[in-house]
Structures are given as structure tokens and as C-alpha cells.
Chains A and B, each alone.
Chain A
Amino acid sequence: MSLFPVGLYHFLILAAVLFVLGLFTMLTRKNAIAVLMGIELILNAANINFVAFTRYGGVNLGGQMTAIFVIVMAACEAAVALAIVLNLYRRSQTVSVVDANKLRD
């Protein structure tokens, strides 16, 4: 396992690191928008994996197709999530995921 030449492993490890960083963002941030950013990082990591597998192992463009769909779903998710966050902010003057626990009880 060497630094050169760059192969599938390197892409996978890059994706893993990006994934863990996104996860860390999700875990530690209080701000809901920041949590959303973490989610985007995780989705990007997954996409890198898909594309890398397509490049190194695929016989067709299935991985890229999936990545495209993931991007579209990410757009949907961002739109809905931000709408929810805005609504939450309007109702309770906060965007903290820690404080948004009314449904618990």
C-alpha cells in the first residue's frame, strides 16, 4: 500500500475520511444548518465511492447514475430540511437541534 500510483484504495480512504468528518460535524454541531452541512459531506463521501467503483470496477455507468440520483435527492433533502428549519426558527426562535425536542414527551 503505497502513496503512488493512486488507485482505488486512495479514493476509498479519501471518502472514508470525508465521511468521518461529516459524521463528526453532525455529532458535534448544535446548529441545524451545520448538521445539514455534515449530511452533505457524508453524501459527497458516498458519491466519491460510487464514482470510484464505477471507474475501477464497473462495466457500465451504474455508479455514476446512482450518484446523480443521490445529488438530486440531496437537493430535495436540503430544500425540505431548510424549510423545516425556517419553520422551527419562526416558531421557537431557535435553530438548535438540542432544543427541538418537543415531540419527545
Chain B
Amino acid sequence: MPTLFDIFFYLFAATIVVSAVLVCFSHNIVHAAFSLLFTFMAVAGVYVLLGADFLAVSQILIYVGGILVLLVFGVMLTNRVTNIDIRAAVRARIPAFVLCSGLLTVLILLLTTGHWISYKDQPWTNTPWNKNAVEQALAPDQGTEQEKHDKSGSHGTAPEIGKLMLTDYLLPFELVSVVLLVALLGAASIARQDPVPAKQEGGA
């Protein structure tokens, strides 16, 4: 008997697969971009199912709000609407299909034959970051007021991630911020209108 969790999982999984297939096969690249929107949303849903609330929010904010918008901008800037190019050309579908099915087979073989130790079969409970909620449910009246407040309900993963970000993951955090800055500067620099006219390129 499927639980609510299972149902939601299959719902999101179906959305992901269908919209991803549309991304693959859609003739219109604008359609593909819209399908991608659904994929990202569904992946966010999967994150919620997996107890990663902060990540789900980030997914929606960054992917949907940022990356996808960028992609759509790219599409708009590089395709004249009347151009035939707006119909995304494809090539060599058959060998790609063969290769991809081979890879999928291999992956599924690996996943199913491998032995994965999964010691937490009960979702929503037992996870380190949901422990407070469980304890609260089991013993609601214990502890001081402050402790009670700390244990009241789930605070999600955001506080934990925030602590980790500034403690154990401080160096990657700083590095990634530098990388982000450099990438933005680089992108601005590359995308800037070339002061030299393009006719020089024609001669090259």
C-alpha cells in the first residue's frame, strides 16, 4: 500500500522524466526551456521529499529564478523568431540512443547489483536534523523553556547548513564565492561588445 510519501515520489518522478524527455525531444527550443522549468520544480519537490528544505528553496531560487531565465535570455538573443533555427536541429539520434540506452543499462545494473547499506528506512524521523521534532513528540514537557523552544518543531536544515557553512565548509565557501565573482566578471568581459569590429574576423 503506497504511503503519501510514495505517491508524491512517483508524482515528482513522472514529472521529472516527462519534462526531461520533452527537453530532449522538443523541436522548439523555447518549449524545451519551459519543460526544463517543470523538471527543476519537480527536482525541488524531490529535495523536499528527501528532507532538504533549504536545498529545495535554493533550487527554485537559483535554477528557476536564475539559470533558467539566463537560458531563456540566451535563446531569445540568439534566435530570430522567424529563423528556421528556432526549431532545434538534432543530429545522430540513433547512435546517441544506442549509447545512452547502453549507459542506462549499465547504471541500473550497477545500482541494482550493488549492495547499498540503508539504515534509515523511516522517512521524516530519525534523521539528525529532525531529531528534535521526534524528541519533542515523545517527551513534550521535559527541559527548560529555552530547550523547549529549541526542540519545538523542526527548524529545517537551514540553521545546520548555516553553521556548517561558516565552520567546517568555510574554505570551500570562500573559494566558491571568489569563483562566482570571477565567473561573473569573466562573463561580463566575454559578453561585452567587442570594441574591434567583427570584419576583422572575416579576414581571419
Direct contact of A and B (CB under 8 A): yes
| Interface residue tally for chain B (C-beta within 8 Å) | 92
B116 touches A8 (CB 8 A): yes
Chain B 123-142 interface 0/1 with A at a Cβ cutoff of 8 Å (1 = within): 10001110000000000000
Query: Which of B47, B100, B179 interacts with A27 by CB under 8 Å?
Result: B100
With CB as the reference atom, state the residue of chain B lying closest to A71: B62
With CB as the reference atom, state the residue of chain B lying closest to A8: B118
With CB as the reference atom, state the residue of chain B lying closest to A74: B67
- Chain B residues lying within 8 Å of A13, measured Cβ to Cβ, are 108, 111
Contact residues, A16-35 vs B (CB, 8 A):
16-25, 27-31, 33-34
Chain A 83-96 interface 0/1 with B at a Cβ cutoff of 8 Å (1 = within): 11111011110011
A61 touches B129 (CB 8 A): yes
Q: For the complex, give the distance between the alpha carbons of A65 and B160 in Å.
A: 10
- Chain B residues lying within 8 Å of A38, measured Cβ to Cβ, are 23
- Chain A residues lying within 8 Å of B84, measured Cβ to Cβ, are none
With CB as the reference atom, state the residue of chain A lying closest to B72: A33
Q: For the complex, give the distance between the alpha carbons of A18 and B99 in Å.
A: 15
What distance in Å separates the Cβ of A40 from its nearest Cβ neighbour in chain B? 6
A34 touches B29 (CB 8 A): yes
B residues at A contact (CB < 8 Å): 1-3, 5-6, 9-10, 13, 16-17, 20-21, 23-24, 29, 32-33, 36, 39-40, 43, 46-47, 50-52, 54-55, 58-59, 62-63, 66-67, 70-71, 73-75, 77-79, 85, 88-93, 96-97, 99-101, 103-104, 107-108, 111-112, 116-121, 123, 127-129, 157, 160-161, 164-165, 169, 172, 176, 179-180, 183-184, 186-191, 193-194, 198, 201
A residues at B contact (CB < 8 Å): 1, 3-14, 16-25, 27-31, 33-34, 36-38, 40-41, 44, 47-48, 51-52, 54-57, 59-61, 64-65, 67-69, 71-80, 82-87, 89-92, 95-96, 98
